[in-house]
Amino acid sequence: MKRIILIIAIVTASVAGYAVGKSLLANHTHDAGHSGGLDQNGGHTDSRTGLYHYHR
């Protein structure tokens, strides 16, 4: 019985660690705020407002 509880605890910790790691990576890749392309200056024109802004 103790062995089964230990195995369940290890599997649970592994799944939780994977989920946290994946969440951190997903959040890191979306730091720019949106998926709009950037020009050589690191910015672009906002299609809604018509204003140019930078991201870098």
Q: What is the four-CA torsion angle of 21, 23, 27, 29, rounded to 10 degrees?
A: 60
pLDDT of residue 54 exceeding 60, the answer is yes
pLDDT tens digits along 19-53: 666 665 565 444 445 566 888 888 899 888 999 99
- Where in the chain are the domains? 2-54
Its pTM stands at 0.34
- Name residue, tokens 């991201």: 55
Q: Within a 10 A sphere around the Cβ of 36, how many other Cβ atoms?
A: 13
